[in-house]
Amino acid sequence: MKVLITGASGRLTQAIATALGQEHALRLMDSVPVKPPEKVEFIQGSLLNPDDVWRAVRGMEAVILTGEPPPDLPGDGRDRMLLDLATRGTHNLCKAAVEAGVNRLLYAGTLSVFRPYPDDRYINENTKPLPGPEMGEMSRYLGELTCREFARDHLVTVTCLRLGTLALEEEVVGQTPDLMWLDPRDAAQAFRAALNRDHSREASWTRRWAVWHVGAAIPNPKYLTPRALTDLGYKPAHNFQANWTDKTP
């Protein structure tokens, strides 16, 4: 499958590219120059520029929007730019993808929209999000809602994977465990599995749209990963066992 992945300079995109590189033809996009892995195409451009976006989606069969902001965001106006990228930028990319015949869109949302809930509350995809005003969190959620509207209005499969806090398992050994930790390699595995989902010809938009929570397999998880994702092969391999030893809540 020919897959476009945004945010080429980000850790998440790099992990996804590694996970997909053996099976799919990849094209990465970012507003800053990035040296892609071998045999991976790179397009420099902004999600806010319709011409750049059109060049990026041409010939693609799936698009993964990682939501990762470019590293060159200005200090002044950073919040405004995050909001613009998450809303107008996401709209530009989804619109161009639909017009180019792409039938699978995947979006990286965030589990932080459930942070206000107590840790003894189980959270699944039917739980009401409670996003805070911090723009990094709010912008991700608004990007998710933008993607959802494309599933409502077009014959396209849209899958939102709400991710926890990305942390490499080996880098956090000895730290206090976090219920939201997710190794980026497992996040990438979830995207790899979700690419197999295709309901683009379903008459009901609620079948074309799905939101799934992606977490590590930790003791008594707060965020529950749905069976639909595990049935597609998602099985986290990095579960922070050393952190949770004798610290199970």
Per-residue pLDDT of 119-144, as tens digits, reads 999 999 999 999 999 999 999 999 99
Establish if 28 belongs to a structural domain: yes
Write down the pTM of the prediction: 0.94
Per-residue pLDDT of 229-243, as tens digits, reads 999 999 999 999 999
Q: Which residue has the higher pLDDT, 61 or 75?
A: 61
Establish if 221 belongs to a structural domain: yes
pLDDT at 196: 95
CA distance 19 to 10: 15
Establish if 249 belongs to a structural domain: no
Q: What is the CATH number of the domain that holds 224?
A: 3.40.50.720
Establish if 27 belongs to a structural domain: yes
Establish if 39 belongs to a structural domain: yes
Residue 71's domain comprises 2-244
Total structural domains within the chain: 1
Residue-averaged pLDDT of the chain = 94
233 Ramachandran zone, left/alpha/beta (phi>0; psi -120 to 50): left
Mean pLDDT of 158-173: 96
Per-residue pLDDT of 85-122, as tens digits, reads 999 999 999 999 999 999 999 999 999 999 999 999 99
pLDDT of residue 199 exceeding 60, the answer is yes
CA distance 67 to 110: 10
Establish if 185 belongs to a structural domain: yes
Secondary structure (3-state) at 123: strand
Establish if 207 belongs to a structural domain: yes
